[in-house]
Amino acid sequence: MTSMANMHSPRSAGSDPAARQYTETYYVDIRSIFVGNLPADATEVELHLKFEEFGPIAKNGISLHKSESSVDGKISLVCFLLYFC
């Protein structure tokens, strides 16, 4: 069974130069950051303006996720940001 932490991790390139080049090109240059506890009315534009001061954000690099608590009915907003390194 695959661990949740490794589900989206690139496979080991091992000693194969082509696989290593692919991994370096497509996985090393972008980093994903989870941001939680955001205001429920925050927009993608607002988040982009706020977080771009920390580095360049990839095109379509903000993924918003809203959910409603089954306990108190509050809306929570989290996002994932993809930064170029």
Quick check: is 25 in a domain?
A: no
Quick check: is 64 in a domain?
A: yes
Where in the sequence is the domain holding 63, given as residue range(s)? 31-85
**DSSP calls for 13-38:** -TT-HHHHHHHHHHTSSEEEEEEEEE
**Residue with more model confidence, 31 or 6:** 31
Quick check: is 24 in a domain?
A: no
SS3 61: strand
17-35 pLDDT per residue, tens:
877 777 666 654 568 889 9
Structural domain count, the chain: 1
Quick check: is 23 in a domain?
A: no
Q: What are the residues whose beta carbons fall under 8 Å from the beta carbon of 13, sequence distance 6 or more?
A: 19, 20, 22, 23
Against a cut of 0.85, is the pTM above it?
Answer: no
CATH number at residue 83: 3.30.70.330
Stretch 8-19: mean pLDDT? 59
